[in-house]
Amino acid sequence: MAVGGFAADASVNDFNGKITLSVVITCIVAASGGLIFGYDIGISGGVTTMKPFLEKFFPEILRKSASVETNIYCVYDSQLLTLFTSSLHLAGLVSSLLASCVTAALGRKKTMIFGGCIFFAGGAINGAAENISMLILGRILLGLGVGFTNQATPVYLSEIAPPKWRGALNTGFQFFIGLGVVAANCINYGTARLRYGWRLSLGLATVPAIMMTIGAFLIPDTPSSLVERGQIDQARHALRKVRGSTIDVEPELEQLIRYSQVSKEREQESFMTIFQKQYRPQLVMAFAIPLSQQLTGINIVAFYAPNLFQSVGFGHNSALLSVVILGLVNLASILVSAAIVDRFGRRFLFIVGGIQMLLCMIAVAIVLALVSGVHGTEHISKGNSVFVLVLLCFYAAGFGWSWGPLSWLIPSEIFPLKIRTPGQSIAVAVQFLTVFILSQTFLTMLCHFKFGAFLFYAGWIALITIFVILFLPETKGISLDSMYTIWAKHWYWRRFIVKGQVNQDNLP
């Protein structure tokens, strides 16, 4: 074996380099796990603008909206309302940390099934809710389900996909998140006129849960996960299924067994292993990438877009239709990302998307400041409201081909096997914690900061774009087992890589 493991890496690329119909279908089925997260993101914002829902659970918001003295930014400022949205993410934070142990012990596939079942229960309870307690309980169960699936699915996709196509296939997860958002927005638009439309919207969360759970039953677990748990025959069968019956899978299987053995011989996998010095680059990215994704403000826009559009001058139906348009733009941009991410690389998309979002956020703040007044008391014309929608569409497009899919892809591909599940758990937990804090505070921030809330996110977008330029190396086309080389060559991260330990520590 060559120094640094490069001879072994070449063989990995050789027998992982082809894409088959089977692996595409498997990845599509697995990526459908994003439906449940996307559906929840899209459904909650629209439901909170439905009058029957507000009459039953949040009547004070209706009284506030009828007041002529309330400025446009403060109509939906309610901590109880934001708790309805953000409680899911607090539960997701807890379950994503637990998911590390579950995924390592039971595998990626069973973790996805488990998450789908819990999400189903949460959707059923929300649809039947009679009080705030039932609403919050349902949201907590939804969050637990999303935490498990969000931890397992990106890892599954990165482990099953050939390195050359890993970016495109992993992007499928974000595509299904976007598809879930669009589907939820369309359902909200259709049910908004019904007296109990909100029950239908919340209860239909059970449908994507059923789809994902059934789909997970039909696909094999990843060969890496099966080998890690000593199920060699099942790993062989899984490899034959995704690589094709005409491919000799024994060399790849032997490689996976060798990596797994090296890992187990050196030390048992421990959650604390990731905190060792040689894994400092991966640990930083496990925190920085998901944190940065949420500091772009995208989920805040997704959760509260109906409230925002209704506040700035759209009627109720127009506000829901605007959110559908926003979701379709984001969905189309994800397809663009899938087409070019493995050609132009991750860094290019991060930087271009970051600049695009930055300019759009600044423009939205300027427009709102000019047309609504400093205190947000001026009426906004329909034309200016449409202009805000157009700017947010460009913003959503920038996110869709950069920070959206890449924030799931990067954490799932940079960790060696021994710390892959705890690394992904940390990344998902950081995302949920950040979303919880931001979603719990956004409506209050909007009320007090007014248009300045968008400048707040613009400032963060500028900082995270600079961070990518300086500290994120390119991972395009590199096999998972060779990923350590990017840190060894990086101008800053190489100081944490001990040369004598590269083979031993990073092969698995």
Rounded to whole angstroms, the Cα distance separating 234 from 236 reads 5
What is the predicted pLDDT for the residue at 197?
92
What is the predicted pLDDT for the residue at 276?
87
What is the predicted pLDDT for the residue at 507?
45
Cβ–Cβ contacts within 10 Å for residue 460, how many?
17
Task: Please say whether the beta carbons of 44 and 305 come within 8 A.
Answer: no
Rounded to whole angstroms, the Cα distance separating 368 from 385 reads 9
In this prediction the pTM is 0.74
Kindly give, in sequence order, each residue whose CB lies less than 8 Å from that of residue 463, ignoring residues fewer than 6 positions away. none
Rounded to whole angstroms, the Cα distance separating 50 from 188 reads 9
Rounded to whole angstroms, the Cα distance separating 415 from 377 reads 50
**Closest alpha carbon to 95 in 119, 120, 128:** 119
- The residue assigned the tokens 């909170």 is 48
What is the predicted pLDDT for the residue at 307?
60
Kindly give, in sequence order, each residue whose CB lies less than 8 Å from that of residue 138, ignoring residues fewer than 6 positions away. 122, 123, 124, 125, 126, 127, 129, 202
Helix (H) or strand (E) holding 390: helix 382-400
Rounded to whole angstroms, the Cα distance separating 176 from 2 reads 41
Task: Please say whether the beta carbons of 435 and 147 come within 8 A.
Answer: no
- Check residue 221 and report its DSSP letter: P
What is the predicted pLDDT for the residue at 10?
37
Helix (H) or strand (E) holding 294: helix 280-295
Rounded to whole angstroms, the Cα distance separating 359 from 482 reads 36
- Check residue 172 and report its DSSP letter: H
Tell me the C-alpha to C-alpha distance, in Å, between residue 335 and each of 155, 297, 339, 500. 20, 21, 6, 42
Rounded to whole angstroms, the Cα distance separating 350 from 52 reads 41
Q: Concatenate the DSSP letters of all residues of 439-457 into one string.
A: HHHHHHHHHHHTTHHHHHH
Q: Indicate the length of the chain as a whole number.
A: 508
What is the predicted pLDDT for the residue at 325?
86
Sign of the four-CA dihedral 402, 404, 409, 411: positive
Rounded to whole angstroms, the Cα distance separating 379 from 90 reads 36
What is the predicted pLDDT for the residue at 503?
46
Mean pLDDT, consecutive 10-residue stretches, the chain (508 aa), reads: 35 53 83 88 81 86 63 64 79 85 86 94 94 91 91 86 80 88 88 90 94 89 87 87 74 81 58 85 93 85 65 65 84 89 92 95 86 58 79 92 90 83 86 83 75 88 96 87 85 80 45
Residue 490 token pair: 């990086």
Computed over its alpha carbons, how large is the radius of gyration of the chain?
23
Task: Please say whether the beta carbons of 96 and 150 come within 8 A.
Answer: yes
Tell me the C-alpha to C-alpha distance, in Å, between residue 78 and each of 88, 169, 313, 323, 447. 17, 40, 20, 21, 10
Three-state DSSP state, 419: helix
What is the predicted pLDDT for the residue at 47?
87
What is the predicted pLDDT for the residue at 348?
94
Three state DSSP letters for 143-158:
HHHHHHHHHHHHHHHH
- Check residue 222 and report its DSSP letter: P
Kindly give, in sequence order, each residue whose CB lies less than 8 Å from that of residue 33, ignoring residues fewer than 6 positions away. 112, 115, 116, 149, 150, 152, 153, 173, 176, 212, 216
Cβ–Cβ contacts within 10 Å for residue 489, how many?
11
**Biggest alpha carbon–alpha carbon distance for the chain:** 76
Rounded to whole angstroms, the Cα distance separating 103 from 148 reads 8
Rounded to whole angstroms, the Cα distance separating 191 from 185 reads 10
Rounded to whole angstroms, the Cα distance separating 317 from 49 reads 10
Task: Please say whether the beta carbons of 31 and 175 come within 8 A.
Answer: yes
